[in-house]
Structure 1
Amino acid sequence: MEVFEPFLAGIDNPDHRDRVEEIFNWVKTRFPNLMPKIAWNQPMFTDHDTFIIGFSVAKQHMAVAPEEAGIHRFSEEIVQAGYDHTKELMRIRWDRPMDFALLERMIEFNLLDKQDCSTFWRK
């Protein structure tokens, strides 16, 4: 996943960098058909040239973006997991564990929901 190396190198905190790299590796291992990509300066995974899941980092949290449909579909589970969310992304504070089961369900939802999608974003 060389495509993510410059992004990872830009994360100053080594613990945050290691955690993000762990999550990227988990996604690539669990979903080997997804393509890693950097677009709009953000790391993401795509399938048949359509957006599936994206990530970003901030001082206090990591953000996971499954598009608005994914946030809407999983909003209760996001809150139950102890995460905050907006209409487009969920925020995982650095001191909170990653709920990999929730991340897996989000990715699976997008793969299924967008299997016939011919655009990068949902319309």
Structure 2
Amino acid sequence: MDVFAEYLAKVDDPLQKERLENVFAWVQEAFPNLGTKMAWNQPMFTDHDTFILAFSSAKAHMSVAPEAAAMQHFSSRIEQAGYTQTAQLFRIPWKMPVDYELLQDLIAFNIEDKADCTTFWRK
């Protein structure tokens, strides 16, 4: 996870940094075939050079960005988890637990849905 080291070094709050590290490690353990990269100052996970998921941090939350198609597919589950959302991302407040089952299903959806995708983003 060296590719994310510089990003994580800039996270001032040690608890937020630890949560990000834990989530990134979980993604890599659950989906060992995913690649990692930094783009647009965001830690990203990719599959066959296509975007699967990105993260970013803010004062009150961690943002998870899986692209609009996945957001639409999982909108009700994101709401049920208690997270706020936009068309492109949802926010996990630092004080709320991470719904790893939701993340697992969302990542698996993107991998399957983009299996034949030849571009970074969906078209």
Flag whether TM exceeds 0.5 (same fold). Answer: yes
For residues 2-58 of structure 1, the C-alpha deviation after alignment (integer angstroms, 9 at most, x for no partner) is 000000001000000000000000000000000011001100100000000100000
Match of 1:87? 87
Question: Does 2:10 align with 1:29?
Answer: no
**CA drift at 1:77:** 0.2
RMSD across aligned positions (CA): 0.4
Percent identity between the two aligned chains: 57
TM-score by length of 1: 0.99
What is residue 62 of structure 1 aligned with on the other side?
62
Q: Gapped runs of 5+ residues in structure 1?
A: none
Distance 2:70 2:14 in 1: 29
Paired with 1:15 and 1:118, the residues of 2 have a C-alpha distance of 37
The one-letter amino acid of 1:111's match is I
Matched, 1:47 2:60: no
Q: TM-score, normalised by structure 2?
A: 0.99
What do residues 64-97 of structure 1 show as CA deviations (whole Å, max 9, x unaligned)? 0110011100000000000000000000100100
